[in-house]
Amino acid sequence: MASNSFGSLFRVTTWGESHGRAIGAVIDGCPAGLPIAIHDIQQELDLRLPGKNSYTSPRKEEDLVEILSGVFEGVTTGAPISLIIWNKDAQSSSYDKIRDLLRPGHATFTYLEKYGIFDHRGGGRSSGRETACRVAAGAIAKKILSFYDIKVFAYLKEIGDISMSLTDIADVDILKGLIQKSPLFCPCPQTEKKMIELLQKEKEQGDSLGGIVECQAVGVPAGLGDPVYEKIEASLAKAMLSIPASKGIEFGEGFHAARMKGSHHNDLFFSDEGKVFTKTNHAGGMLGGISTGMPIVLRVAFKPTSSIRKEQDTVNREGEKKKLELSKDARHDPCLAIRAVPVVEAMIALCLVDALLINKTVKMSFDEKACFC
C-alpha cells in the first residue's frame, strides 16, 4: 500500500530512513504561481532542529533543505516540488549492540512482524526524523495560508502534571513569537520554568515524560471539510495520529464534552454585520464535519518517549529473555511532545490547504452564462 503519502489534492510523499543517506518530500498538487524561497522552508526546519537545547535530543543535524524541482525563478510552476535533506550525523554504530533486541515501546517488533525485515539503524521510517519532511512540506502549506490570512499555531500545553491554558488570544503573531522563543514551545514563562525542572529531574533518572500539544487555526473560512467520511475533524484526526508517539486527539471541549449537557455545550449563533458567529466555541470550530469560521481548536496527546536509559526487561528476535540498557551516547528526547509541536503545526497546515483546494470543487456556476473561474 502506498502509505507514505498524505493529502488528496495537495499531496505530500515522504521518503528516507533516519540513518540512510538522505530524507525528502515530494509535494504534488501545489498550485502554480506561489512565491516561495528556500528561506521560507529553512526557517521552519530550524525550529524543530534537534540539539537546540538540553531537553531535546543532542543529535546534531544542520538539516539544510534543498529544492530540487517545481520552483522556477522563485515561483512554483505546478510541477511536483522535490525537497531533500541530507543526513550527516547518523551514528548507526551506537545501535549495533542492541540490534537484535525488541525495544519496549518501539516499532522493531511490529515492523519485523509486518515486513520480516527491519532497518535497525535508528528506527528507519518509524523514527521521528521523518517528521522533518512534514515540517518542510508544511512550510509551503503555511506560505499558501498566509495569502488567505489563515494562521496556525501549536504550543506545549502539558507535561506530566504541569499544564497551562491560553486565556485570551489578543494577537496571534505575538503569541507565535512567544512560542518560538521558548525552547519548549511553551508561551507561558512560569509554566515553562516548572516544565524544565520536571524534565531535568526525569532526565537525570533516565526516564521520560509524555505531554499534550494544543493547536489552533484562526481565520479559517466556514465551509471547509466534507460531510460523512471526510469531515474536517476526521482528516485532522488522521493527520495527528500519524505523528509518531501520538495516542489521542480531541476537538473543542473534546473528552470533557462527554461530561457536559447539550444546553451547555451548544454554541449559540448570533449575527454581526451580516456575518454569523457563535458566542462560544465548545465545538472547536466545526459542525457536522465542516468548519464554522470560528477558530479550530484541537489537542494531541503524546506518550512518554519509549527510549529510556533505565534498564528494561525484553526479549531478542529469537524470543530469549534479555536486558535492554541503552548506551549513554544514544540520543533521545526526554519528552517527544516538545519536538512534536512544529510537526502538529505542519500537519494542520497541510490539512487546511488540502481542504481549501477540495472546497473549490464543491461549487460550480450554473447561471445562465456560466464561465470557468
In the window 167-196, what residues touch its own copies (CB under 8 A)?
A: none
Other beta carbons within 10 Å of 100: 14
- Find, among 278, 231, 233, 235, the residue nearest to 251 by Cα: 233
Mark the segment that binds its own copies (CB under 8 A) among 38-46, 55-63, 170-178, 313-321. Answer: 313-321
Give whichever of 155 and 177 is closer to its own copies, judged by the CB atom: 155
Build a one-symbol-per-residue string for 94-123: x at contacts with its own copies by CB under 8 A, - elsewhere: --------x-xxxx-xxx-xxxxxxx----
Using rule CB under 8 A, residue 210 touches its own copies = yes
Mark the segment that binds its own copies (CB under 8 A) among 50-58, 168-176, 181-189, 361-369. Answer: 361-369
Q: How far is CA 278 from CA 164, 223, 293, in A?
A: 25, 15, 9
Task: Out of 172, 183, 289, 325, name the contact with its own copies by CB under 8 A.
Answer: 289
Using rule CB under 8 A, residue 281 touches its own copies = no
Task: Out of 40, 234, 281, 330, name the contact with its own copies by CB under 8 A.
Answer: 234
How many residues in total does the chain contain? Answer: 373
What angle, rounded to 10 degrees, do the helices at 38-47 and 336-359 form? Answer: 140
Residues 125-164 that bind its own copies (CB under 8 A): 125-126, 130, 144, 147-148, 158-161
Min CB(169)–its own copies separation in Å: 21
Give whichever of 49 and 283 is closer to its own copies, judged by the CB atom: 283
Using rule CB under 8 A, residue 230 touches its own copies = yes
Please state, in angstroms and rounded to a whole number, the distance separating the CA atoms of residues 217 and 219: 7
Contact 45, 132 (CB under 8 A): yes
Using rule CB under 8 A, residue 165 touches its own copies = no
Give whichever of 168 and 185 is closer to its own copies, judged by the CB atom: 185
Helix (H) or strand (E) holding 300: strand 296-302
Helix (H) or strand (E) holding 152: strand 151-159
Please state, in angstroms and rounded to a whole number, the distance separating the CA atoms of residues 50 and 251: 29
Build a one-symbol-per-residue string for 30-69: x at contacts with its own copies by CB under 8 A, - elsewhere: -xxxxx------------------------------x-xx
- The dihedral over CA atoms of 124, 126, 132, 137, expressed in degrees to the nearest 10, equals 110
